[in-house]
Structure 1
Amino acid sequence: MNKDKNIKLNIGCGPCGIDGWLNYDFGILPLLSTFPVLKSILIKTHLLSSFYQIKWPEIKLVDIRKKFPLSNSSVKVIFCSQVLEHFEYWEAKHILSECYRVMKTGGILRISVPDIEKIISNYSTNKDKVGSAREFDKTVFGDEKDLKPNIVKKLSIFFIRYHKWHYNYPYMCQLLKETGFSKIIKCGYRKGETPDLIKLELGIHRSTSMYVEASKK
């Protein structure tokens, strides 16, 4: 168990974790970060996007579908960006229950996920109806499912977890309340009480995402 009582936890951090935070991720991708030559080969063969060429932070391999290896009420801030949509609803509920368990009273949880309402708005206001339909599907599924997968694509499923479930703001509020959180606030991109947002929050998903902060009483 981590004995630090002011932990800042980034769950599902990918290659975007930063120093000063406890960075959790799990699976082949974070494991590959410790084997740079193999990772480079996978990128060159297009099994991995060149995005993953960047240097990964120090990561603890933790399966967040299980109990977090942290004491009760030990975490000050939790950052969860573009993570929950990759899990079934019941899995997301467990993950947030664990966030609540390890969070200190008054602590902050920040979540960003694809926003159903933004996705629909982007689709309905786009004059390119063919392109907008494809972009809609790509955003919802987290994958280009209109393209027949080649061998490289088939192998990539072992590296990338696609989208399982989506939310709008009321639905996210319901999930947060079910897991004990209160004072739920819809925030803007890089706006809120969470520290280090300029470093942590990436603009790549900004047009389709919602940003929410909640606290533990």
Structure 2
Amino acid sequence: MHPAIRAVVRPPVLAVNTPIARRRAKTAFASAPRPFKLEIGGLVPREGWVVTNVSAVTRHFLDATAPWPLEDASLSHVYSDNVVEHITLQGAQVLFAEAFRCLQPGGAIRMVTPDLRAHVDKYLAGVAPKGDPSAKVYEQIGLTVEHPIDWVRIPIAEFGHHHGYLWDFETMAAELTRAGFSDIKRYEHGESDRPELAGIDMRADEGGVQLVVEATR
């Protein structure tokens, strides 16, 4: 859909769908066996997970930057792929605090987000993004990918990221620690020591410019 058309259509669709999707989410949360697995910002159903979003067409609406309608220790896993960069630092702090509260002891959170440091390192090294495997997805969606500066311009200026907050490992680890998490580790895309979290990432084409972090409740 053309962006101009989407901008016109989205508000009324969001207004109609959100209360319905909130009710569906409430029902899904109530009926899920404890503890269950929660995905934040998911786009498609995932077997064994309750998948939520705030999009205009989501089936299960959850604003992860507000208190979650879940009881303590009701979750075993929390997963979010390329969502946290769209929200403010304050919103991310609420998300991490709520995830910590709702996870059972020993439960895990997995966060995937663009790694600003990796993008900056490619820029400083003078790597041309055009044709680089890590920039392939940017080319495929029609972004300008010509000069090394685009490594920095894209994660900061595209996708509405300027309204949110960008991340590197040190920043993510500091905020997860603030929320109470421990055993904070960085992983390669698609890899995890936990079977439930291995192979679930959606953006494998972006490889090393994606930050993947897990932490334990």
Query: Residue 49 of structure 2: which of 15, 21, 38 is its match?
Result: 21
C-alpha contact (below 8 Å) 1:18/1:199 kept by paired residues = no
Q: How does 1:74-153 map to 2 (within 5 A)?
A: 74-128=74-128, 131-143=147-159
TM, length-normalised to structure 1: 0.71
Does the C-alpha gap of structure 1 residues 76 and 128 become closer, same or farther in structure 2, counting only changes over 3 Å?
Answer: closer
* Partners of 1:211 and 1:86 in 2: CA distance: 16
Does the C-alpha gap of structure 1 residues 205 and 68 become closer, same or farther in structure 2, counting only changes over 3 Å?
Answer: farther
Runs of 4+ off more than 3 Å? 126-130
Moved more, 104-113 or 185-194: 185-194
Shift in Å at residue 142 of structure 1? 2.7
Deviations 1:101-128 (A, max 9, x none): 1100000100111112101112122344
User: What secondary structure does 2:190 align onto?
Assistant: coil
C-alpha contact (below 8 Å) 1:18/1:200 kept by paired residues = no
* Partners of 1:139 and 1:162 in 2: CA distance: 7
Question: Which residue is equivalent to 2:34?
Answer: 5
* Partners of 1:20 and 1:186 in 2: CA distance: 24
Deviations 1:41-98 (A, max 9, x none): xxxxxxxxxxxxxxxxxx3111112221211101001111111111110110001111
After superposition, the CA RMSD in angstroms is 2.0
Aligned residues: 170
Q: Which runs of 5+ in 2 are unaligned?
A: 1-28, 130-145
Does the C-alpha gap of structure 1 residues 69 and 127 become closer, same or farther in structure 2, counting only changes over 3 Å?
Answer: closer
